[in-house]
Structures are given as C-alpha cells and as structure tokens.
Amino acid sequence: MQIGKSQNTNLSENFSQRNDGLDLLRSIAILIVLLQHSLFTLPPIENQVIVSIINILDGVSIFFVLSGFLIGKLLLRTFIEQEASFQSLFTFLKRRWLRTIPSYYLVLTIVLALSIYKNTNDDFWNHLSYYFFLQNINFEISKFYPEAWSLSIEEWFYLLFPLLLFLFIRLFKKKQALIVTILIFLLFPLLLRLIVAGNDNDFEFRKLLVFRLDAIVYGVLIAYFNCFNGLYFSKMKNYLFFIGLVLLVAISIFKFKNITAPFTAFFFSLEALSYCFFIPFIYSLNFAQNGISGRLNYFISTRSYSLYLINLSLVLGFVLPFFKDQLQILNKFPLLNFVLFWIFNFLIAELIYRFFERPILKWRDKNVT
C-alpha cells in the first residue's frame, strides 16, 4: 500500500517512542487533574466564573485524545505497515494490557481493601465489576473509585477498535478498513448521545461507557492524518493550534451558559476535536532533555498514569483523612492539606512507578514483541 507522498520514511521510522511535546501534553493533563482534585482540600470556591476558568481544560479528555494518537500510531504500524494477523493483534493487546492493567489492579485492590477496613464499602460484589471494567456500563455509577470510569472507556476501546479493524481488514483494503472503523467509532456514540439528549436535556454523558467510546478515536484520526499527510500536518500546525484554541473557548462559553440539547450531545465531540488540533503543534516541540525543564517534563509524564490512579480515591479518600485524624493542625489550616495532597501523590506515584510499573514495562519490552 502506498503511503502519502509527503512521507519519506516508513511508519516505524516516522513514529518514535518518545516525543517531548507529547510528554508535555501528558504532564499538562495530569497536572490539570491534580489541580482540580486538589481544590477539594480547600474551602468551596463561590465564584462560578473562577470555577469555570479552572475547568476550561479537561485533563481526562486530553488523556483520551493523547491515548488515541499514541494507539493510532501503534495500530498503523501493526496493521497497516506490517501483515495483519491474529498474532500481531494479540501481541498488540498484550502490550497494552501489560501497560495499563497491572497498576490499575494494584491500586484498585488497595482501595477496595481500605474501604472494607474502614467500613466504607457498602456494595462489595458490585465493586468487583471494576476488575472487569464494567463499572460504568449502566446509568448508575458507583462513587467507589470514581476516577476509574475513564480507565474502563480506554480499556474497552483498546479491545474493540483493534478487533473491528482486524475484521474489516479481511473485508476491505487496509486504508479503507481503517477509515470505516474510525467512522463507526466517531458516529455511533454521537448518534446515541443525540437520541438520548432529545429526550433528556440534563442527561450526564461524561462517564458512561457506550456514550464516550468516540473520545479516543479522535486521537486515532489525527494519527492517521499525520501518517498519510505528514507534510501538511507539519505546515498547518500553527493554524490548527489557533483553530483548536478558538473552538475550545467557544464551546466552553456555551457550556458555561448551560446550553442544552443538542449541544450537550455534540460537546464531547467538539472538545476532543479541539484537543486534536493542538497535537500537530505540540508534536513538533523539542526540549533539551538534559535540562531542568526536560527532566521535569519527563519525570511528570512517566509518573502520570500512577498519579491518575491514586490521586482521588487513595490520596484524597484515605491517606489525607488518616493524617487529618492524627494531626489536628490539618483541620485548622486547609492550605496544609492542599500541599500534602501534592506531596503524597508524587511520593506514592514514584514508589509505584519505580518498584512496580517500570519493572513490568521493562519485562514487557523484553519478552512481548
């Protein structure tokens, strides 16, 4: 199959494992999540304009688009450049599962054990669904381990998108199969949101699996654009960044004004699209990796997954309350809780990354190829 004329190298050469800009985007996303959750340690902010400004960027949605871009690159290399086979599909899935599931199971088990110990777990058997990523498959989402809703969406996407692509490659040419698969994931969840929004203006789509499976495919779409239109991708990066910024501000203003259906159905599509427009510019960034900014960027980005797993349920739900019970001064000075929230997050994330996540990734890269 012919790659776009603007491509002078094959896909493996075009897509490197590390990229300073993507590391920066990952770091920004987790810092946004931590900032928004750290506000729970402070008195409530009464000014809704300030709250809206703080929430104008959604770290989870950035993670979705970034994950889609990275997964899209891997899928293009696995199924488009190479021979698509069941073995290559299974290898792809194994590598993804070893990247995400072990750390997730570790933190999930710790949170579940602590909730049982503290008698805060009121539905033990229902919480077992979290081990199968079924926690947000219905309309009643448990408050247990609340950040896990996004992990369920990612894991199901990692499974369903490659499987559907693998099937369509048997029916169409590779490029056509990829386009058809992308379109299905783009349009089906949006159609469902439009149907539901027409009946209920106040329906909350954000955390429900079936309504958000399109969140990640926008990143795959921009990876496809990078692959087959690499020169255009690079030349247009500044214009696309500006368009993305204008689009993000516009939909945020509409959201702030509580515009109802069908805007609620289109909002998540437009938000993901705005972040997609940022990718070409961010992808072009380079830092001095031995400098302070480069090392800090790399440090935060590599710990971002562990930070996401622990920050809300483990740190905010159990670690901080434990210290507040032991140190009464924390009840008098909320700012200390804010500071400790950040310290405990990076401390625990470092331990998980260094002694659990990184060894597993090293084993994976050596044994699953």
* Residues 167, 155: Cα–Cα separation, whole Å: 19
Please count the structural domains in the chain.
1
- Mean pLDDT score of the chain: 85
| Mean pLDDT to the nearest integer, 102-110 | 97
> Has residue 2 been placed in a domain?
no
In a domain, 272, yes or no: yes
Stretch 19-43: mean pLDDT: 92
pTM above 0.85, yes or no: yes
Inform me whether the pLDDT recorded for 134 exceeds 60.
yes
Per-residue tokens: 85: 């086979």
Is the per-residue pLDDT at 216 higher than 60? yes
Structure-model confidence comparison of residues 118 and 100, the more confident one: 100
5 occurs within a structural domain: no
pLDDT value at 333 more than 80: no
Distances 5 to 2, 164, 235, 310 between C-alpha atoms, Å: 8, 28, 15, 45
pLDDT at 31 over 50: yes
How does DSSP classify residue 128?
Answer: G
Greater pLDDT, 192 or 325: 192
Burial environment of residue 243 by CB neighbours within 10 A (0 to 12, 13 to 18, 19 or more): middle
59 domain-assigned? yes
Residue 12: its pLDDT value, please? 37
Residue 243's pLDDT band (boundaries 50, 70, 90)?
Answer: very high
- Rounded to whole angstroms, the Cα distance separating 221 from 268 reads 15
Mean pLDDT on 52-64: 86
User: Tokens standing for 190?
Assistant: 């949006």
State the average pLDDT over residues 202-222.
87
Query: Within a domain: residue 6?
Result: no
In a domain, 4, yes or no: no
Structure confidence at residue 106 (pLDDT): 98
Integer Cα distance of 187 and 214 in angstroms: 8
| pLDDT given at position 2 | 35
The pLDDT value given to residue 121: 59
For 298, counting Cβ atoms within 10 Å of its Cβ (0-12 exposed, 13-18 middle, 19+ buried), the class is middle
Residue 294 reports pLDDT greater than 50: yes
Say if residue 88's pLDDT is above 60: yes
Length of the chain: 369
Segment 302-308 shows an average pLDDT of 97
Q: Which domain holds residue 291?
A: 11-367
Q: Is residue 155 part of a domain?
A: yes
Range with the poorest average pLDDT among 87-101, 127-141, 187-201, 309-323: 187-201
- String of DSSP letters for 342-353: HHHHHHHHHHHI
In a domain, 179, yes or no: yes
Report the C-alpha gap between 47 and 248 in whole angstroms.
21
- Inform me whether the pLDDT recorded for 263 exceeds 70: yes
